[in-house]
């Protein structure tokens, strides 16, 4: 199904869901490390915060470009610019963004930002529409038209003829360009529905000059009925997570959950499911803790997270090891729809990174205790137990002795940190 399957309003959508989750994850990680680790965790904290800063810079620029797009006067132009922004942000995953990634992405956003310059808005809009029209015309050649069912063949021929003319002459005004895009949408809907008898039968009642919104509404209503039907089928809607062998199945690692329709995979790619629906996710993490009050017995505790998204996927992370379950309810134009759930819980294990950092934390504690004991024992033995101890010089010497031991400990830890890097 093509992207043109949109109804009567711009769906600005959320910023990249996985990127937002990854940004929150890195802040949570840095907060956890700051509360737990003394000295050797500083490099890790700095690295995490730098990654979060890069993500925040990208998210902020996306927000600024989206706000400027929303100031474009013509609805059709504003809508298409929003589609292009969605195309840019959708590939952004949960992985950390390097400095070069941020630079490249900002350059692409700056190019899209030219849509908001009044003198270039119409030109950029038509250049983008023209590419889509040329691709569709080349795809629906004479042989393809002859293969269409009779009830829509004549309408498709008229639409293709109109698009061919506008490509050759170029529209004189913005309204003509918008009309050409509407014809492109009508033709695309008929073409993409050619193997769907039920949908094609409903579309065949429309003429080539029927309001394009009616085409959209028929497709969206058909898609919603298919979603409702699939949710009741054995091979219908389901939630899929990462492979069981994935490295991301650890605490504090982002996990992407996706809604799938195994019976009709093309349904997931419709604009209805990608942008028009609201997905209410419920994620439950069952974790076991050792009870101090029950002689070390295991106590099961549940962590429930609820989140909404405007696309059939969501990214989340687990702060605790255990079993992760997920369910989703779909809403359409204010109506509660059908739901789906994950078939098998996802097993989340402890993060190896945090285990490594815990070793360094323990080393910090032990080294501090060792230095403190050494300074007390040796300092008292050398200075405090002398018969004449008590002058300012002797107090200063004792302080210098303890500070020297502490700095020696810091020097050794610095060597260990450089060796680790």
Q: Which long-range contacts (CB under 8 A, 24 or more apart) does 200-205 make?
A: 200/149, 200/151, 200/152, 201/151, 203/152, 204/149, 204/151, 204/152, 204/155
* CA dist list (Å): 371 to 395, 399, 411: 18, 13, 13
User: For the chain, which domains are there?
Assistant: 17-206 (no CATH), 238-350 (2.60.40.10), 353-420 (no CATH)
Conformation bin of residue 21: beta by default, left when phi > 0, alpha when psi is -120 to 50: alpha
Per DSSP, the three-state class of 336 is: strand
106-139 burial by CB neighbour count: b if 16+ within 10 A, else e? beebeebbebbeeeebbebbbebbbebbeebbee
pLDDT of residue 146: 84
Q: Tell me whether residue 35 is exposed, middle or buried, using C-beta atoms within 10 angstroms of its C-beta: 0 to 12, 13 to 18, 19 or more.
A: exposed
C-alpha distances (whole Å) from 50 to each of 34, 53, 96, 303, 358 are: 15, 5, 9, 29, 22
Residue 149 · residue 140 · CB < 8 Å: no
Parallel, antiparallel, or unpaired: how do β-strands 346-348 and 335-341 relate? Answer: unpaired
- Residue 162: count other Cβ atoms within 10 Å of its Cβ: 18
- Which is nearest to 353 in space by CA: 48, 51, 56? 48
Rounded average pLDDT per 10-residue block, the chain, 421 residues: 32 46 59 54 61 73 87 91 85 67 82 87 93 92 84 89 92 93 93 87 87 92 85 74 72 83 82 88 84 65 85 82 90 80 86 55 60 63 58 65 63 48 44
Long-range interactions of 195-201: CB distance < 8 A, separation 24+ = 198/222, 200/149, 200/151, 200/152, 201/151
The answer to whether the beta carbons of residues 28 and 252 sit under 8 Å apart is yes
Q: If you write DSSP's letter for every residue of 213-271 in order, what string do you get?
A: HHHHHHHHHHHHHHHHHHTTSTTS-EEE---TT-TT-BTTS-EEEEEE-TT-GGGGGSH
Residues found in the chain = 421
| pTM passes above 0.75 | no
Task: Find, among 242, 188, 246, the residue nearest to 219 by Cα.
Answer: 188
d(CA 124, CA 112): 9
For 86, phi and psi rounded to 5 degrees? -60, -40
Residues 26, 49: contact at Cβ < 8 Å? Answer: yes
DSSP letter string over 192-214? HTTT-HHHHHHHTTS-TTS-HHH
CA distance 369 to 365: 6
pLDDT at residue 384 in the model? 54
pLDDT for 141 equals 85
412, HSE (Cβ side, Cα atoms, 13 Å): 11
pLDDT at 9: 31
Residue-level pLDDT at 248: 60
**Residues facing residue 289 across a β-bridge:** 299
Contacts 24+ apart (CB under 8 A), 58-67: 58/19, 58/92, 58/97, 58/102, 58/105, 58/106, 59/15, 59/16, 59/19, 59/20, 59/23, 61/106, 61/109, 62/15, 62/16, 62/89, 62/109, 63/15, 65/109, 65/112, 65/113, 65/116, 66/12, 66/15
Closest CA to 267 of 213, 186, 197, 196: 196
**Angstrom distance (rounded) from CA 54 to CA 65:** 17
Among 355, 315, 401, 363, residue whose Cα is nearest residue 39 = 363
Q: Report how far residue 59's alpha carbon sits from residue 15's, in angstroms, rounded to the nearest whole number.
A: 7
CB of 306 closer than 8 Å to CB of 361: no
User: So what's the pLDDT on residue 7?
Assistant: 30
Q: Which residue has the tokens 């002398």?
A: 386
């Amino acid at each position: 199904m093509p992207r043109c399957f949109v109804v009567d309003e711009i769906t600005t959508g959320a910023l990249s869901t996985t990127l937002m989750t990854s940004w929150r994850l890195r802040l949570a990680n840095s907060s956890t490390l700051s509360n737990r680790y003394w000295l050797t965790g500083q490099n890790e904290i700095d690295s995490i915060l730098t990654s979060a800063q890069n993500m925040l810079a990208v998210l902020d620029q996306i927000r600024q470009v989206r706000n400027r797009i929303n100031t474009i006067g013509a609805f059709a132009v504003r809508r298409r610019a929003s589609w292009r922004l969605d195309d840019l942000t959708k590939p952004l995953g949960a992985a950390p963004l390097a400095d070069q990634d941020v630079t490249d992405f900002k350059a692409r956003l700056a190019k899209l930002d030219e849509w908001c310059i009044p003198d270039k808005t119409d030109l950029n809009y038509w250049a983008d529409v023209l590419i889509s029209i040329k691709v569709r015309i080349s795809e629906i050649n004479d042989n393809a038209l002859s293969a269409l069912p009779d009830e829509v063949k004549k309408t498709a021929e008229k639409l293709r003829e109109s698009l061919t003319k506008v490509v050759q002459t170029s529209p004189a005004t913005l309204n003509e360009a918008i009309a050409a895009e509407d014809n492109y949408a009508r033709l695309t809907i008929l073409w993409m529905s050619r193997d769907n008898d039920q949908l094609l039968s409903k579309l065949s009642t429309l003429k080539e000059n029927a309001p394009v919104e009616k085409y959209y509404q028929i497709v969206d209503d058909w898609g919603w009925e298919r979603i409702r039907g699939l949710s009741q089928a054995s091979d219908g809607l389901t939630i899929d997570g990462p492979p069981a062998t994935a490295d991301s199945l650890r605490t504090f690692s982002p996990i992407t959950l996706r809604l799938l329709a195994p019976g009709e995979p093309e349904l997931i790619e419709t604009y209805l499911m990608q942008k028009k629906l609201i997905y209410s996710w419920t994620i439950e993490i069952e974790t076991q803790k050792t009870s101090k009050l029950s002689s070390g017995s295991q106590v099961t505790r549940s962590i429930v997270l609820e989140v909404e998204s405007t696309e059939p996927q969501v990214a989340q992370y687990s702060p605790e090891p255990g079993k992760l379950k997920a369910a989703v309810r779909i809403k359409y134009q204010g109506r509660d729809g059908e739901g789906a759930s994950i078939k098998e819980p996802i097993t989340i294990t402890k993060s190896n990174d945090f285990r490594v950092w815990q070793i360094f934390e323990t080393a910090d504690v032990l080294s501090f205790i060792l230095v403190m004991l050494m300074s007390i024992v040796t300092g008292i033995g050398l200075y405090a137990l002398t018969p004449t101890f008590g002058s300012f010089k002797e107090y200063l010497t004792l302080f210098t002795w303890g500070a020297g031991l502490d700095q020696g400990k810091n020097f050794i830890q610095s060597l260990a940190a450089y060796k680790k890097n």
